[in-house]
Amino acid sequence: MISLLVNIDVDDLPRAVAFYTGAFDLRVGRRFGADGVELLGASAPIYLLVKAAGSRPCAHLDAPRDYARHWTPVHLDLVVDDIERATARAVAAGATLEQVARTHRWGKLALLADPFGNGFCLVQFLGRGYDEIATQA
C-alpha cells in the first residue's frame, strides 16, 4: 500500500496558510523553516511549499512557475457535507468561484481556484455517490 502526500506550490506562505486553514478548517502541523508548512485535518497531509514565481519546476521544462490561473490534469477534489456552505467559505477565504455547484446523479460539483491559480473542486456526494454511475468491471 502507498501513502499519499499532497504538495502545493505557493509563492506566499502566510497567505497560503491563511487561505487553506480558513477555507477548509485545516490546522498547521509542522513547519519547515520559511519554506514549508504541513497542514493536517484532511485524509492526507497537505504540504504548502514556497517556490518563487518564475522558477522552473525541473531543468528540462521551459515553462516557469506562474501563479496566475493555470490548468493541470491533476487537481484536488475536496469532499464536503454541504457544498453551498463550503463554497461560500472558500470564496470568503479568497478562492475564485469558476462554476457554481451543479447536480449530477452521483452528487454536486463546484469548480474553484485558490489564490495561487490552482484549480480544485468541491464535491458533495448524494445517494450512493459514484456507485450511482459505476459499472461492473
Residues 5-47: pLDDT tens digits? Answer: 999 999 999 999 999 999 999 999 999 999 999 999 999 999 9
Residue 136, C-beta contacts closer than 8 angstroms, at least 6 positions apart? none
Residue among 43, 63, 44 at smallest CA distance from 53: 63
Same domain membership, residue 74 and residue 33? no
Calculate mean pLDDT across residues 109-136.
96
Same domain membership, residue 75 and residue 49? no
Q: In which domain, by residue range, is 112 found? A: 69-137
What confidence score (pLDDT) does residue 77 get? 96
Whether residue 137 has pLDDT greater than 80: no
Residue 40: phi, psi to the nearest 5? Answer: -120, 160
Q: pLDDT-based confidence at 93, cuts 50/70/90?
A: very high
What confidence score (pLDDT) does residue 97 get? 98
Same domain membership, residue 127 and residue 102? yes
Is 28 part of a structural domain of the chain? yes
Q: What is the count of structural domains for the chain?
A: 2
Is 61 part of a structural domain of the chain? no
Same domain membership, residue 73 and residue 40? no
- The number of CA neighbours under 13 Å toward the Cβ of 95 is 27
Residue 27's domain is classified under what CATH number? 3.10.180.10
Same domain membership, residue 76 and residue 25? no
Q: Which of 30, 54, 78 is the last residue of a domain?
A: 54
First-to-final CA distance of the chain: 22
- The number of CA neighbours under 13 Å toward the Cβ of 93 is 23
Residue 52: phi, psi to the nearest 5? Answer: -65, 140
Q: Are 62 and 73 in contact (CB under 8 A)?
A: no
